[in-house]
Structure 1
Amino acid sequence: MGILSRCGGVLFVMKARAFVLVFALIITTTFGKICYANEKKNLPQISSKSAIAIEWVTRKILFEKNKDLKLPMASTTKIMTAILVLENCDVNKEIEIPPQAVGVPGSSMYLEKGEKLKIIDLLYGLMLSSGNDAAVALAIATAGDVIRFVNLMNKKAKELGLSNTVFSSPHGLEQGEHYTTAHDLAKLAAYAMRNPIFRQIVKTTEKEVPWTTRPYNRILKNKNKMLRLYPGAEGVKTGFTKKAGRCLVTSACRDDFRVICVVLNAPDMWNDTRKILDYCYSNFKVIKLLPGEIGYVKVKNGKSDWVKVGTTYQRYWVVDLNCLPKIEVLLQVAEAPIEKNKVVGGLNLYLKGEKWSFPIVALQECQRKSLWDRIKEKLFEKRMRQK
């Protein structure tokens, strides 16, 4: 289980062990083994034609196989559809199902003519039931027609730097050039998972939504078995066409370490994904520098004898499991007056032969003693000696 480890008051997220630094003027400490280069590990053997796993914040590649191979991606396309709808529509808006969305081939939430549903209900139908009909209804609701929506999809792909991705439909049924790479799809999923509504939808295993043309509701069940098979799994999307084969995008999070895994054209997609995630969690971890209080520094000629100090920076590193940082803390005696955020020292962190430096700043101000403050201090000292 991950532990919040304090370097003074600077928080580091580490695995299994906690360390505390006591501050002196200059402190250097090493946490365990320092790694300078990636060590060879036993890579998982998988059936996928292409695959990747990345850490979602740093986008560091933890595993890859043919990550830049262009392949069709079937219904994993709906990740882009969902995030575009979420960014452009009021999810509580009710729409009437257009005739173009009725009877769309492939997987379906079985929309019927004349139905009225909220966009949020259609998003659940899109991501849980993989409804191609929901994709068409949402595309029309967002952009006016499917062609304009596909143009939005390709525009968004460019904005996100998905240089090897082209969309031709909102659902993944190939209607022209329609392809991506495992790497592009992982970056898209990492972006989408930052949206809290998207995260809530894709982690839902079952959802009841209205069926307004019938006397009962729909029960939508998530096709993503990883939610039940893998501890820490959070979604994201399955996909299948004859051309694309089996495709799966998965987000998993353990001890605040979130991994995005993509497998494309994967005959054994569930086991491939499990093997890759197991590999990632067995060989890597995240270390986080979080903003916060470190401690106190002695102040000369201040109205207070001590001032609270800390760091205002946040930084993430993905490292090999047994590699922990060497940390050097340098603090200088502070003299009043001290303004808030004044630099009073520095923190150096060494990982894999690289050095990162962060300022340590005053988290509060401290005014200089006035003449009257000094007189009162002397009088108090004299009175104490007389007692």
Structure 2
Amino acid sequence: MTVKNLGGANLKKIAMVLVTILLINSKLTFIAYADPTSGAPTLSSEAAILLDQKTGQVLYDKNSTAQMYPASLTKIATAIYAIEKGNLDDIVTVSSKARNVEGTRVYLAEGEQISLKKLLQGLLINSGNDAGIAIAEHLDGSVRNFSKNINEYLKTEIGVQDTNFVNPHGLFDPNHVTTAEDMARITQYAMKNETFREIMSIKELDWTGEAWSTTLYNHHKLMREIPYEGVTGGKTGYVDQSGQTLVTTAERGNLSLIAVTLKGNTQTEAYNDTIELLDFGFENFKTTQIVKGKKFESEDGVPFLATKNLNYTQMKTGDVKLEVTNDGTLTVVQSNEALNTSFQLKEVKQNTAVASSKASSPDRDQEQIPFTSNISFYFFMLIIVLGVFGMVYTRVLKR
């Protein structure tokens, strides 16, 4: 492409034309932004994903649909399932099976009675496998029934299709699998729940049980030991077969992110990968909201409005335009086509009574013109009559 040299006057004319086009075409909104792909993270973990929590937009992925072993990330699904199905005030009796499960525990005693909410705290903060078994048995009678029901819940309520859990805690089983994308979607769904968000964000908690009294500390290092600005929650996981697994949620300004890494070789690699993902997200993206009630017009002038707040992800610099078709589809078109998204708007029906009233108003105005003229005529005639009457009356008096 050949670029001709443009003089200052020509540049001013072009600028004026562009500004005029932007002002006239109210159906399109333009914002500037740049392609950040050159700065995309290089990760050591075998699978990873970065998600905009509000919009669900994938900002980065690496093998995100490959089925892998989640380890204790499973407990995120167990927690939201229990919160939505159970009663937090329920008192749970701990079984022998829960008491004797291997791995990380909160050292529940057999026969101990404890609230479901406290079990959820032990599950998420200290990654208690015994708490997971106790929850599963309380909700569904057995781990087997729990597994069947939670898999159905994950498919029907959350919509993930590549996850199969056979226990509530994530200890290794060759059939216990998920994907980075599924884990991000499960976390996104769970973070909409206030109780889940509250427990997920706890950094430390005093714990008093029959067999163990201590302070529980969240295992996620970005929550405490190496704090990352904006982190709102996280869950760690590890078994030999899964490697290091990590889910992290973070928020700065209007952007909320979910980062998932699976099968890191070491903790250091998993945390470095997570920090790279979050840095990449916060440096390059933002969430933009179209407020409920905002009006739009299609190219043919058909009016539409947003019936709820609509969020979409965009890069911080570059081109974004909003296009509305005659069927009410609002499409957010961006330079990075992967960020394109669509919403359905509601058509605004014109009030026929008002339209009819407006249409007939000119006729009424025409009727008012002679009416006003008649008033003036009658007033003028009255003055003449009074004048004549006055003259006659004066002559009669003189006689």
Q: Is TM > 0.5 for Structure 1 vs Structure 2?
A: yes
Amino acid corresponding to residue 334 of structure 2 in structure 1: K
Mapped to 1, the partners of 2:27 and 2:104 lie a distance apart of 59
1:60 aligned residue (57, 61, 70): 57
Mapped to 2, the partners of 1:163 and 1:119 lie a distance apart of 28
| SS of corresponding position for 1:33 | coil
User: 8 Å contact 1:168–1:176 — kept in the other structure?
Assistant: no
RMSD: 3.8
CA-CA distance at 1:212 after TM superposition: 3.9
| Aligned match of 2:217 | 221
| Aligned match of 1:337 | none
2:256 aligned residue (247, 253, 258): 258
User: 8 Å contact 1:44–1:275 — kept in the other structure?
Assistant: yes
CA-CA distance at 1:363 after TM superposition: 12
Q: Deviations over 1:65-109 (max 9, x none)?
A: 111222111000111111111111100111221121113111111
CA-CA distance at 1:248 after TM superposition: 0.3
CA-CA distance at 1:274 after TM superposition: 0.5
Amino acid corresponding to residue 281 of structure 2 in structure 1: C
| Aligned match of 2:3 | none
Is the aligned partner of 1:291 residue 2:292? yes
Q: Deviations over 1:163-219 (max 9, x none)?
A: 2211121111123411111111111111111111111100110122431457xx442
* Structure-2 change in CA distance of 1:327 and 1:45 (3 Å): closer
Amino acid corresponding to residue 240 of structure 1 in structure 2: Y
Amino acid corresponding to residue 313 of structure 2 in structure 1: V
| Aligned match of 1:116 | 113
| Aligned match of 1:248 | 246
| SS of corresponding position for 2:229 | coil
The answer to which structure has the higher helix fraction is 2
* Structure-2 change in CA distance of 1:292 and 1:241 (3 Å): same
Higher relative contact order (CA 8 A, sep 6+): 1
* Structure-2 change in CA distance of 1:46 and 1:161 (3 Å): same
CA-CA distance at 1:142 after TM superposition: 0.5
The answer to which structure has the higher strand fraction is 1
CA-CA distance at 1:359 after TM superposition: 6.3
Is the aligned partner of 1:42 residue 2:39? yes
User: 8 Å contact 2:319–2:334 — kept in the other structure?
Assistant: no
| Aligned match of 1:352 | 334
* Structure-2 change in CA distance of 1:363 and 1:88 (3 Å): farther
Structure 1 residues without counterparts, runs of 5 or longer: 1-23, 295-308, 330-345, 383-387
| SS of corresponding position for 2:65 | coil
* Structure-2 change in CA distance of 1:95 and 1:255 (3 Å): same
CA-CA distance at 1:251 after TM superposition: 1.1
Amino acid corresponding to residue 278 of structure 1 in structure 2: D
Is the aligned partner of 1:193 residue 2:191? yes
**Larger C-alpha radius of gyration, 1 or 2?**
2
User: 8 Å contact 1:80–1:188 — kept in the other structure?
Assistant: yes
User: 8 Å contact 1:244–1:264 — kept in the other structure?
Assistant: yes
1:1-387 equivalences under 5 Å are 27=26, 30-33=29-32, 40-159=37-156, 160-212=158-210, 217-228=213-224, 229-266=227-264, 267=266, 268-292=269-293, 311-323=306-318, 325-326=320-321, 351-352=333-334
Amino acid corresponding to residue 206 of structure 2 in structure 1: E
Return the TM-score normalized by structure 2: 0.71
* Structure-2 change in CA distance of 1:358 and 1:209 (3 Å): same
- Paired residues, number: 331
Identity over aligned residues, as a percent?
31
Mapped to 2, the partners of 1:283 and 1:167 lie a distance apart of 35
User: 8 Å contact 1:31–1:326 — kept in the other structure?
Assistant: yes
Return the TM-score normalized by structure 1: 0.73
Amino acid corresponding to residue 223 of structure 1 in structure 2: H
Q: Deviations over 1:300-353 (max 9, x none)?
A: xxxxxxxxx975342221111103544699xxxxxxxxxxxxxxxx99776327
Amino acid corresponding to residue 230 of structure 1 in structure 2: Y
* Structure-2 change in CA distance of 1:157 and 1:29 (3 Å): closer
| SS of corresponding position for 1:312 | coil
Mapped to 1, the partners of 2:229 and 2:25 lie a distance apart of 43
Amino acid corresponding to residue 231 of structure 2 in structure 1: A
User: 8 Å contact 1:327–1:347 — kept in the other structure?
Assistant: no
Structure 2 residues without counterparts, runs of 5 or longer: 1-22, 296-303, 366-370, 376-399
